[in-house]
Structure 1
């Protein structure tokens, strides 16, 4: 690759001094570009950057995909390196135009959310010790998370006057201070009502009334529960249920949405319950359980 050594070294110097890239980034760019320039020299027989075309770059990217088995993020980094290098080469007069400017970065695949299956949910919800006040509260919290799909921040901020159990709804204050009414099932409602009626008064401290701000879920000192408190409650329950996968509060929201859709719920209804501004955000849950899709296809398609 001696033909392009000068251009590459000047670019790496520019990237380090002018763009302020870290040493690790410089090394990655160097490795990416050395491989790219070697390909141009030995496979395409090029000795001048002005001779590089869009087709040459596309061929190289195809070569990478075929031979290197790169991840989407690694491919994106290679494209970014090539685009930046050719932009520099054009500015410095090493080539007449930038052949890489039309190359698009690959879209990052959405990571599918982890979910609990119904058996795992049932195991976790059955772990709190209902002989103790804190256990009754924890049961209500877990049932609320799974039964409504609300976020942890929404649960910790939930106030008594937002419980409309006579009509089976909870008024939730979500992101951007947006309000929504979320239906709550009988099991979750009974658990929350039992806690509010019999346990919350035991925890309530008049001296901390202002600090608790009428919050539904309190700690045993009368203060409002924090996000970390909810995390600890969920971790304790998951450990007691011997769940092997990572379990965290938000997994109940993922599971809530997934189980509704698997049961036949309308996508826009689930969007409304979750408080998603865009239905595109909710649609990710339609792709979570591929085995469920196979099951439906096998059961209902005449040629399955």
Structure 2
């Protein structure tokens, strides 16, 4: 199985350098390929060249026996298909045994979002007289006001903000950049946070200009994804005991509310940083329900 390890190392370099995938994504790919390598050992298959379509079907059967969900199986097959496709491209293999494997259809779940009245509750609970309260207010405003991912938010630097035209430069998945506009509420919250709270929080550092990340924690160092989740959970407790949300729901709410108000799909796709329009189209399930309610409420022959 030595050749698998060598080829896997080449694939990892490809994912990191050419595809600019995050370390988290790379680790997931490696895990799936190593799991398949274990399956090969069980089947006495020593080389990747020996893998046939029948072996891939046998592997799928094994995954189903282990009660994996359709979504999980799709992820595993997708990783292996990419791995073998890379090997064919590099001339290491003649064909991709996973090219003919059809991915199991996954259930399309409607994204969960917050109604505007629920969002408003979150904007009222931060104590904007304190540094952390100002930080929290700016955080909620920018997440909901731009629809960016939490990981993207944590990586914003002060130099990425342009207050003159109200935009932020976001570094998205795969190293792709996009500019997102933000409104007056986010602008006001960000200005207050930067001028007052951020200076106070970073003053604890040995050198206050030690880093230029926008959002910081109570120690003045960069705020992490986990930190954002903790902050939101605390704010939700204060806002309402009936609200159960996760950070991504602010992104879902951003997209849903834009579409409900008439924004076109392509513009929302660009704002969200989706590569494929199909990723944005999941929000139409929500907006269709919204349109139906309007129709039933206002059409004279409904």
TM-score by length of 2: 0.65
Partner of 1:175: 173
Partner of 1:228: 226
Partner of 2:206: 207
CA RMSD, aligned part only? 3.3
Of 237, 240, 245, 2:238 maps to: 240
Structure 2 residue matching 1:225: 3-state secondary structure: coil
Does residue 288 (structure 1) correspond to residue 297 (structure 2)? The answer is: no
Cα deviation digits, residues 230-264 of structure 1 (max 9, x gap): 00110011111115242111110000000000011
Cα deviation digits, residues 275-303 of structure 1 (max 9, x gap): 11111111111112554121233367564
Of 25, 28, 31, 2:65 maps to: 25
Alignment of 1:91-102 (within 5 A): none
Q: Which entry has the higher C-alpha Rg, 1 or 2?
A: 1
Partner of 1:133: 131
Structure 2 distance, partners of 1:300, 1:279, is 31
Partner of 1:89: none
Does residue 279 (structure 1) correspond to residue 282 (structure 2)? The answer is: no
Structure 2 residue matching 1:207: 3-state secondary structure: coil
The answer on whether the counterparts of 1:149 and 1:274 sit within 8 Å (CA) in structure 2 is yes
Question: Cα 1:216–1:147, aligned 2, differ >3 Å: closer, same or farther?
Answer: same
Partner of 1:84: none
Partner of 1:121: 119
Alignment of 1:148-159 (within 5 A): 148-159=146-157
- Structure 2 residue ranges without an equivalent (≥5): 1-41, 44-57, 74-101
The answer on whether the counterparts of 2:236 and 2:243 sit within 8 Å (CA) in structure 1 is no
- Structure 1 residue ranges without an equivalent (≥5): 1-16, 29-71, 77-103
Structure 2 distance, partners of 1:280, 1:165, is 32
Cα deviation digits, residues 148-169 of structure 1 (max 9, x gap): 1111111110000111110011
Alignment of 1:250-269 (within 5 A): 250-269=248-267
Question: Cα 1:105–1:188, aligned 2, differ >3 Å: closer, same or farther?
Answer: closer
Structure 2 residue matching 1:264: 3-state secondary structure: coil
Structure 2 distance, partners of 1:274, 1:293, is 22
Q: Is the deviation greater in 201-210 or in 184-193?
A: 201-210
Structure 2 distance, partners of 1:281, 1:116, is 19
Partner of 1:14: none
Shift of residue 22 of structure 1? 7.3
Structure 1 residue matching 2:170: 3-state secondary structure: strand
Cα deviation digits, residues 196-219 of structure 1 (max 9, x gap): 1111111114535576x3001112
The answer on whether the counterparts of 1:120 and 1:243 sit within 8 Å (CA) in structure 2 is no
Structure 2 residue matching 1:112: 3-state secondary structure: coil
Q: Count how many residue pairs are aligned between Structure 1 and Structure 2.
A: 221
TM-score by length of 1: 0.64
